[in-house]
Structure 1
Amino acid sequence: MTESIVLVINSGSSSIKFQLVHPVTGDAIGSGLVERIGEPVGRIVYRYAGGVMERELHLPDHIAGLRAAEAVIAETGPPLRERGIVAVGHRVVHGGAVFHEPTIVDDAVLKELRRLSTLAPLHNLPNVIGIEVARRLLPDVPHVAVFDTAFFHTLPDAAATYAIDAEVARTNRIRRYGFHGTSHEYVSGRAADFLGRDGADLRQIVLHLGNGASASAIRGGRAIDTSMGMTPLEGLVMGTRSGDIDPGVILYLHRNAGMKVDEIDDLLNRHSGLKGLCGENDFRSVLELVADGNPDAKLAYDVYVHRLRRYIGAYLVELGGVDAVTFTGGVGENNVDVRRDSLAGLEGLGIVIDETRNESPERVARRISSDTSAVEVLVVPTNEELAIARKAIALS
């Protein structure tokens, strides 16, 4: 192939998402998921123009995972080295205070990314491993790190600063960094395009709602606040994460319940949120339980929406009004109830949802507000892979 293709890799602790993207047209030539790395039986699913390939195999580590991805790509077309790949874009969750632009990875950058793993051990270390393996597989093209935190690097000091001892914060690099930035940046730009307006003239609230969830307030194309903080734990209620919680609860659990730090970490990150409240983290399952009259699921849903409305209200005040509210992410794009209930009763603030538009199953950028709504309410599918591909090719 002679066309320029970018390979996008999102390496997690036990999974690797990958996609072959044409950065100009935005077409995904193929996309796949390698999962259950390190378990007795791993799995790879690859979707391409000819269909879907799925198989189970042993994947002891990320090297095996990326080699499996390389193999399925070769089985369904030219091998990676003949695909016209001009760059590899890597999603990296935490850039700390060091990285706030897409960065070509060399040995020095890789060393610094490893050091930053202390800020996001669940995310950055797997990202680094994925980069190391991919550089060995494709050594002759630039590898570009694109950071989840980058879009929020310019948060005002008042929004980025925690009210703790300043020297302790400086020494330990404690501040609010924000996450899902690639999605928030992409979606806010697409929203402006959809409305036919210059992003510099818009006040936007973007709600990225998935198993992980975050909200942002954007003025003139720049984020002025976001719900996630130093880690992706702060903010909205999520699938397995608690979101905002009184820090005193952590101290109480340690002192009075005898829980160790790692146990509390595991509780708040993996066994809280929707799962902690009702046993299910998949929103579809939660709604099925609600429909069946399950009181725990109903409470979980109510807590989720309550927290979401709190952030929407706060950002309305911070922005001094809003021109557009945009939903994205798996839940934001697909869940009629969350969109309706999170904005219910806000007609006095100029926000009016059209029920028919809201219930549309379309998978494209669309308006769900009524013609009389002073505020535009949109659903815009996110495409972080395309955003990463375009940032990567710009440096290649």
Structure 2
Amino acid sequence: MKVLVLNAGSSSLKYQLIDMENESVLCSGLVERIGLEMGAISYKRLPDTDSEKKTSLEMAIPTHNVGLRKVIELITEGETAVVEDMAEIKAVGHRVVHGGEYFSAPTVVDDKVLEAIEACIPLAPLHNPANLDGIKTGMELFPGVPQVAVFDTAFHQTIPAQAYMYALPYELYEELKIRRYGFHGTSHKYVAGEMAALMGKDLAECNIITVHLGNGSSMTAVEKGKSVDTTMGMTPLEGLIMGTRSGDVDPAVCDFLARNKGMSVSEIDTLLNKKSGLEGLCGMSDMRDIHAAVDKGDERAKLAVEALTYRNRKYIGSYMAVLGDVDAIVFTAGIGENDDIVRLESLKGLEKLGVVIDEAANAGRAGEPKKISAADSPVQVWVIPTNEELAIAREAKNILG
């Protein structure tokens, strides 16, 4: 069974074709600058373990449909082909950012599912419209092939009301569904499952804190295999300090800025989402640049690292309190997998809570799962690379039986 995984953005389309017999990636790539004067397609073919072939194209790509048609051509024709016929592709899996309260699990797309995804557009106005474009393109180009929607929010639908409700007038929840939804659910679920397997346990037996650190970051408390709390809220702005997002901030700051700086709601939203976080603290959003600046004595860069890791540590401690008993802490995503300084500082001082790090094991990047806690640490700490595309393909395979 081969599954094509699509992640459609407003002007981009990431894709990966996976053979589910052995979970090998046959090809992957990116369609970008969709709708601009000139677009680009990158295509990487992985025919065997010893070589790889890459193709780069520039062409006008006015729509997702045009871009995906060209990708299908690369997949099925000529020297770039990895399948002989499109009929070998048995499912198309789609990442969808927001499923609201409609979806607690992946689902095969039909008209009602399309309507529900569209109904969630007010909750994710930048993402859900593009996700819908990707699904509709898949339906048109793969008629009769099941389209499976996998939602970033679905894993977090097990969070109890006391954790997802905001202390606002209840009618705002009833009317507008204002509540915590959480994101990165596919990643959190994937690494939690991998962690359970590494411990030789069923996920339903495990209490795990998953720490997804990238340009966007979130943390989840997983109790007996289910998400019971997560740092992102109604939008991906809440919680941890991120590349350009502020994370937690006093809501009254918004009114203060409006009154004292004359800023509009839209301007404040842009400030909090695109000009804050690490970028706001030190003028840089890439941790590699920030570490280099710290080495040169940049005090604001040092502050940014300290603030980010302090916020991480505070949430790890709070989720240890939520869970009561923790089997493991897992770091994943770009920063989580590659930044040993952030990992170490995020766990600093937690020894009395049962978290003891082996600094030698923690050193460097992690291209594969590795344990970074000391042998005598009551709580295991691991770095596990996330693989959202494989997670989506697995969900598609499972839902189709």
In the superposition, the TM-score normalised over structure 1's length comes to 0.95
The alpha-carbon distance between structure 1 residues 38 and 293, as it changes in their structure 2 partners (threshold 3 A), is farther
Task: Report the counterpart of residue 66 of structure 2 in structure 1.
Answer: 64
Distance in 2 (CA, whole Å) between partners of 1:257 and 1:40 is: 38
Taking CA–CA contacts closer than 8 Å with sequence separation of 6 or more, which of the two structures ends up with the larger relative contact order? 1
Matching of residues 24-43 of structure 1 within 5 Å: 24-43=21-40
CA contact (8 A) 1:209 1:329 kept: yes
Matching of residues 141-152 of structure 1 within 5 Å: 141-152=145-156
The alpha-carbon distance between structure 1 residues 101 and 237, as it changes in their structure 2 partners (threshold 3 A), is same
CA contact (8 A) 1:12 1:123 kept: yes
Give the superposition deviation at 1:210.
1.0
Matched residue type, 2:18: V
Which of 389, 395, 399 pairs up with 1:395? 399
**1:117 and 2:114 correspond:** no
Matching of residues 165-314 of structure 1 within 5 Å: 165-314=169-318
CA contact (8 A) 2:309 2:345 kept: yes
CA contact (8 A) 2:313 2:348 kept: no
Give the superposition deviation at 1:26.
1.8
Give the superposition deviation at 1:172.
0.5
Give the superposition deviation at 1:181.
0.7
Task: Report the counterpart of residue 49 of structure 2 in structure 1.
Answer: none
- State the Cα deviation string for residues 24-46 of structure 1 (Å, max 9, x = none): 42211111112222333332222
Compare 142-151 and 296-305 and name the one that shifted more: 296-305
Secondary structure of 1:98's counterpart equals: coil
Secondary structure of 1:256's counterpart equals: helix
Task: Report the counterpart of residue 20 of structure 1 in structure 2.
Answer: 17
Which of 354, 358, 371 pairs up with 2:358? 354
Distance in 2 (CA, whole Å) between partners of 1:393 and 1:203 is: 26
Task: Report the counterpart of residue 44 of structure 1 in structure 2.
Answer: 41
Give the superposition deviation at 1:80.
8.2
The alpha-carbon distance between structure 1 residues 383 and 167, as it changes in their structure 2 partners (threshold 3 A), is same
The alpha-carbon distance between structure 1 residues 339 and 276, as it changes in their structure 2 partners (threshold 3 A), is same
Give the superposition deviation at 1:342.
0.5
Distance in 2 (CA, whole Å) between partners of 1:82 and 1:134 is: 12
Give the superposition deviation at 1:69.
2.4
**1:10 and 2:7 correspond:** yes
Distance in 2 (CA, whole Å) between partners of 1:309 and 1:162 is: 23
CA contact (8 A) 2:330 2:382 kept: yes
Distance in 2 (CA, whole Å) between partners of 1:219 and 1:151 is: 12
Distance in 2 (CA, whole Å) between partners of 1:196 and 1:162 is: 37
Which of 383, 386, 392 pairs up with 2:387? 383
The alpha-carbon distance between structure 1 residues 176 and 361, as it changes in their structure 2 partners (threshold 3 A), is closer
The alpha-carbon distance between structure 1 residues 271 and 68, as it changes in their structure 2 partners (threshold 3 A), is farther
Give the superposition deviation at 1:360.
4.5
Distance in 1 (CA, whole Å) between partners of 2:281 and 2:166 is: 28
Compare 285-294 and 4-13 and name the one that shifted more: 285-294
Distance in 2 (CA, whole Å) between partners of 1:266 and 1:44 is: 30
CA contact (8 A) 1:44 1:55 kept: yes
Give the superposition deviation at 1:68.
3.4
- State the Cα deviation string for residues 154-186 of structure 1 (Å, max 9, x = none): 101110110000012211011111111111111
Matched residue type, 2:72: E
Aligned length: 393
The alpha-carbon distance between structure 1 residues 339 and 39, as it changes in their structure 2 partners (threshold 3 A), is same
Secondary structure of 1:39's counterpart equals: coil
Matched residue type, 1:5: K
CA contact (8 A) 2:366 2:385 kept: no
Matching of residues 52-91 of structure 1 within 5 Å: 52-74=54-76, 75=78, 76-78=80-82, 81-82=85-86, 84-91=88-95
**Identical columns (%):** 51
CA contact (8 A) 1:202 1:219 kept: yes
**1:339 and 2:343 correspond:** yes
Distance in 1 (CA, whole Å) between partners of 2:267 and 2:21 is: 46
The runs of 5 or more residues in structure 1 that have no matched partner are none
Give the superposition deviation at 1:252.
1.9
In the superposition, the TM-score normalised over structure 2's length comes to 0.94
Distance in 1 (CA, whole Å) between partners of 2:282 and 2:84 is: 44
Matched residue type, 2:105: E
Give the superposition deviation at 1:362.
4.2
